[in-house]
Structure 1
């Protein structure tokens, strides 16, 4: 048995002798950067688990395309990708289209973005199998591509940021950084101050309907609540400038922390309540449950806007109107603590990762 190595955000090496053979499965994502949650949870974490089952996989390389038996494509809708996958199919390869967002909604009305949606429809009809991260997204596929295969819903693997490669220096630095953040919270948010958390990708300034734009939408509500309940907000993201301009200017009792794989889980566990705002629209309706699961695994209470995939957790989180839900937890810390414990137990149930892997094995048909 050989151990896996991860260097510079990419998988290196293997986890078993079975995986030393030529990869029969390729993952072709928009990026190979394991710091991206979608890449990590829908490809990177699956690779070593598949290797343990004797299925070698790797990131797609055009020069090796003729050797692959199956390709899983995700978030690639350019003409070159479509052309290469047509050739792959003509030579008998199996194609799986993996969707974790409603990419049938164009980013803009520019010709390039509209063309990407058309290419997505082409890939859907070309694919031997389609995987989506949620039931609503599977229904979107059926509506947009009625002649395509019926989509199979497969949730993300439970997250494990530690698979992102870090240097020895970064590991040492992270221990200092975690201690620093704990000391900071003990000083600015001692007993009696509710520690709120928002985590996620900031996204671009013109994408105000998701990312940090969603957080900015509820900051005025947090400011009002802070007049009654002592609050401190921690934001874990990838854009300090957006935080300063959209959040900190209104809420002085807040702190930005850059997302790092070596510190994120420890810092999550220091908080009390995770905020997951999501304005109802065709994009957020298709989101998976991974943000709720990540927060509950860290032992946090969760207050979230209603998203269909969050419904199974309704008994252990505050799901619905965010201000009302947050008020309930701030007014009743015992209820908050009980729900956080119950939620953590719910998502810790054994077999979750194995069930995800079994579904992927059925879809890959290798």
Structure 2
């Protein structure tokens, strides 16, 4: 039996949904004996996956599991060693992470950049995009009719948060370097920008003085996001360059391409292989092409690339190969 331990099982948390709930569903359908961790089943587990949790409680649990012969897997999807302000609390958390890394029989990550910053060997387990259901496809067809402007662009993601003892430069604020260009284009075209995120206060602070139509939509379920993205003509994914963001996975870019959205993004290691299918770094020409209705990237080929390499079934295959080796 394999147990999967999360801080919570909330499907709105991307790391829980993408790196646990969705692959678990596929694995269970194949008859793999895997379940969300249950305290009453501790003695039965041959393998337990810890989804980026390493507080003292889970360190102690991992030690007990190791003591009974259970294999411990630690899955990480962010660079939790990043500590630019040398914050003592973050440093302490980093020390606990090192303890968990030392305890783990296997460490898994979504990409090679995160591999490079860890002090122990790790294995890449891909993020996967869940296929659209028939209902979602039908709903997306209806939603396409509800458009605010002739050209509609979208940014979606977490508002930014704090990490390393400071408010991160990432999240919504990553759009700020492109304000002047977007405002200029909005004077020439019927253009609107929508931000789908989870902090209205930060949205107001970031976009309140933009001289163009900018709309806030509250982050909801994954199904709601997929449905609403059908209303847009292009997706903007700027990424600030720091040791935290450089380790991010491709999940937002892969989702946008799978849903047929042209994408402009700043290049990070996880995005590099998507260069033939989106616009990386060239914001000047990229924004002009999106707003004018031209397409400088091969979105259809991008969707096919995602379907061939980065769907949930591929992630489930990676996990199953790991579990077969550990069993």
Query: Normalising by structure 2, what TM-score?
Result: 0.87
Q: Does the CA contact (< 8 Å) of 1:195 and 1:272 recur in 2?
A: yes
Aligned equivalents of 2:63 and 2:310: distance in 1? 37
SS of 2:167 mapped into structure 1: coil
Q: 1:242 to 1:300 in 2, by over 3 A?
A: same
Partner SS for 2:277: coil
Pick aligned residue for 1:226 from 182, 186, 204: 186
Aligned length: 318
Q: Which residue of 2 aligns with 1:280?
A: 241
Shift of 1:184: 5.1
Q: Say whether 1:340 aligns with 2:320.
A: no
Q: Indicate the larger mover: 93-102 or 25-34.
A: 25-34
- The answer to whether the aligner puts 1:69 opposite 2:46 as a matched pair is yes
Residue number in structure 1 paired with 2:55:
78
The correspondence for 1:359, drawn from 298, 318, 326, is 318
Contact 2:197 2:216 in 1 (8 A): yes
Q: How far apart, CA to CA, are the structure 2 residues paired with 1:39 and 1:128?
A: 21
Report SS of the residue matched to 2:295: helix
1:36 to 5, 13, 20: 13
Equivalences for 1:181-200 in 2 at 5 Å?
Answer: 185=147, 188-190=148-150, 194-200=151-157
How big is the shift at 1:227? 3.1
Q: How many angstroms does 1:183 deviate by?
A: 5.9
2:256 is aligned, of 295, 298, 302, to 295
Structure 2 match to 1:207: 167
Q: CA RMSD for the aligned pairs?
A: 2.7
Distance 1:259 1:351 in 2: 23
- For residue 348 of structure 1, report the CA deviation from its aligned partner: 2.7
Quote the Cα distance in structure 2 between the aligned partners of 1:319 and 1:83: 44
Q: Is the 8 A contact 2:155 2:235 kept in 1?
A: yes
Identify the residue that residue 53 of structure 1 maps to in structure 2: 30
User: Residue 235 of structure 1: SS of its match in structure 2?
Assistant: strand
> Could you tell me how far apart the structure 2 residues matched to 1:107 and 1:265 are?
35
Q: Report 1:1-366 matches (<5 A).
A: 24-106=1-83, 109-141=86-118, 145=119, 148=120, 150-159=121-130, 185=147, 188-190=148-150, 194-204=151-161, 206-261=166-221, 262-331=223-292, 333-336=293-296, 339-349=298-308, 352-364=311-323, 365-366=326-327
**CA pair 198-39 structure 1, distance change in 2 beyond 3 A:** same
Q: Verify the 8 A CA contact 1:277 1:322 in the aligned structure 2.
A: no
Provide the secondary structure at the position in 1 that maps to 2:308.
coil
CA contact (8 A) 2:183 2:211 kept: yes
Change (3 A) 1:75 1:353: closer
Paired with 1:93 and 1:161, the residues of 2 have a C-alpha distance of 36
CA distance in 2, matches of 1:184, 1:248: 24
Structure 1 residues 182 and 315: CA distance shift in structure 2, 3 A: closer
Q: Deviations over 1:316-345 (max 9, x none)?
A: 1100143343234335x2324x62233223
Q: Distance in 2 between matches of 1:50 and 1:231?
A: 44
* Alignment partners' CA distance in 1, 2:3 and 2:284: 45
Query: Does the CA-based 8 Å contact 1:154-1:359 persist in structure 2?
Result: yes
- Does the 8 A contact of 2:126 with 2:318 survive in 1? no
Contact 1:134–1:286 (8 Å) recurs in 2: yes
- How far is the alpha carbon of 1:219 from its aligned partner? 3.0
Secondary structure, in 3 states, of the residue corresponding to 1:97?
A: strand
Query: CA 1:221–1:208 in 2, change beyond 3 Å: closer, same or farther?
Result: farther
Q: Which has the higher contact order (CA 8 A, sep 6+)?
A: 2
Long gaps (5+) in structure 1: 1-23, 163-170
